[in-house]
Structure 1
């Protein structure tokens, strides 16, 4: 190879080697060119608000969905000859009222549960519209005096009567008339007209969490509640801490339903009420009393969770529910569950709490 050719070859080798200088392990590699693609912005999902749990309107108990049926109020008798009654433990709310002869009669209200048989069913009384009108539902009775029946319809309820020949009523069982009328509720629900098919509004307020019931916040421990509506009607309620219910007794006798289940309630609400004579007579010649509720108010005792609290009650029109107000002016909150409302006369009646 000539000197000129060797020189050219050397120049080529140098040209190839020079770009490699500075790329050894001890030197940093050239920085990569910045990317022209913007990074995707970081997003935070909005916190989801859990849907509120639906509750049964007449018990405040959580349900998967509120049953669309209306409330059904049934007039049930309560003297010794009528006991044990059928369907009593399935009622959401039961009202006990004083009637003629010193005995008591019940208005049992069904919505979340409906038994196959209810009774013995008896006739309506003048205070029934004030009790049941806020439900705007169905009312079942064996019959009654014409003005009382007309008042039920005028209060916005759909009336069903055994005496009128409506379906669902029948005489059955070993008792003699008039203590043997029983009701199958299914035909009444089937006959509900378009204006009486909606579920009722809530009748009482319920505590959202355990420990916020009015009696727990501002009440006193109570083992038993003794009531006197008359010399013949002396129910009592004893707290069962294991079952967490108030168990009913009629005088000294524990109260049971026809199916053998003990009659009990989550809440007992006692309203002190004025009872007056109407001037009307029953078939036996007894004067028919009326409990005054509409446009009235007074003292009340609420029993919940083994405790009682003295509160006040008030009611506007027939269509308005009873309003319970605590001593501090706040709405009374019951425990979710079943409720018995006791209408105890201010004159002849009495309420005794036993610690």
Structure 2
């Protein structure tokens, strides 16, 4: 009898233990899998999109006067991209591209006329294009690519009065072409007024390195400065600032300042692209040859590397590829970028750092140079 009671007691205790274990298992909460932040880069900078990023909207590309009399410009320090190249008479013109116009801060300008060499860099960005007037070649290209509802041209007086503002005070000492400005508010008003097609984000302009990873270290050291000669009288200089990790831009030997903010123009990436630039039949306007591509240099973080670039047709994207002869796109570090398109006749004028005389990158690039000469 005692043995039977002992067995019953042991069985009861064992079942109780099982019930207790079962309750503990039922009450335990399984650990949630770690949710990693989504990779969400700005297609123009490769940086993470911030809270104010205008999803679903085209970027805006604005033509900026860059002759000496037009300085200082306004609103350009907030651009994600700036392109600079010769237009005519040795002068350069810039195109400032914004993913978020509110970053321009106030007025943008002075605004100048369209040129086809800039349009060919703008088309792959799917951008809204802002300018005052256009060359014949530029106007033909905008018509060919059906850009009427994506272009804001201030040449008609009615449009100019709606989208642009004349700085009368500035006009007291400068010619009128150096005094026309626009703004984020004026452009947004014009989109509504003229029922422009403002929807459509671009593809990434470069193959960006992920902002979640450490920046890519470029292989050649000594890029503490750079001198880019566009023509006999037009040149740009860059000085690397280690504290910010950016290249500070100068124009005509003086810091290039944004009048709206007092900031010197600064870029994480500087890309210098060489190609054949020659006069058009009129002997004034310049033709930039994008058909073959060419050689160049990429500067970032105080270092640099030789590159090749490819483009082709006007709507084809710019591709930055290895200088080794293949067509693999290299990684560009996230950040704001400055892109110079320079004539091959100015190759020997380029300097990168004080102690880095440049030679042609390699046989593949030398072949590219000879084909473009």
Normalised TM-score (structure 1):
0.83
CA distance in 2, matches of 1:331, 1:47: 35
Query: 1:274: Cα distance to partner?
Result: 1.1
Residue 351 in structure 1 maps to residue 347 in structure 2: no
Query: 1:156: Cα distance to partner?
Result: 4.8
What is the 5 A alignment of 1:60-139? 60-65=46-51, 66-68=53-55, 69-112=57-100, 113-139=103-129
Unaligned runs of 5+ in 1: 1-18, 282-286
Secondary structure of 1:88's partner?
A: coil
Partner of 1:233: 234
Residues 136, 156 of structure 1: 8 Å contact kept: no
Query: 1:94: Cα distance to partner?
Result: 0.4
Deviations 1:220-241 (A, max 9, x none): 3311111111011111111000
Query: 1:109: Cα distance to partner?
Result: 0.6
CA distance in 1, matches of 2:144, 2:208: 30
CA distance in 2, matches of 1:159, 1:194: 8
Partner of 1:202: 204
What is the 5 A alignment of 1:1-355? 30-33=9-12, 35=15, 39=22, 47-65=33-51, 66-68=53-55, 69-112=57-100, 113-157=103-147, 158-165=150-157, 166=159, 167-172=162-167, 173-174=169-170, 175-192=174-191, 193=195, 195-208=197-210, 209=212, 211-213=214-216, 216-259=217-260, 260-280=262-282, 287-293=284-290, 295-327=291-323, 329=326, 330-349=328-347, 350-354=349-353, 355=355
Query: 1:159: Cα distance to partner?
Result: 1.4
Partner of 1:6: none
CA distance in 2, matches of 1:339, 1:169: 26
Q: Which has the higher helix share?
A: 2
CA distance in 2, matches of 1:115, 1:156: 30
Secondary structure of 1:102's partner?
A: coil
Deviations 1:200-245 (A, max 9, x none): 22111222255442xx143333111111110111111110001111
Secondary structure of 2:285's partner?
A: strand
RMSD: 2.8
User: CA separation of 1:245/1:290 partners in 2, compared to 1, >3 Å: closer, same or farther?
Assistant: same
Query: 1:273: Cα distance to partner?
Result: 1.5
Secondary structure of 2:294's partner?
A: strand
Secondary structure of 1:78's partner?
A: coil
Residues 97, 104 of structure 1: 8 Å contact kept: yes
Residues 140, 160 of structure 1: 8 Å contact kept: yes
Residues 297, 306 of structure 2: 8 Å contact kept: yes
Unaligned runs of 5+ in 2: 356-373
Normalised TM-score (structure 2):
0.79
User: CA separation of 1:251/1:145 partners in 2, compared to 1, >3 Å: closer, same or farther?
Assistant: closer
Equivalent residues, number = 326
Partner of 1:14: none
CA distance in 1, matches of 2:343, 2:231: 8
Query: 1:263: Cα distance to partner?
Result: 1.2
Q: Which has the higher strand share?
A: 1
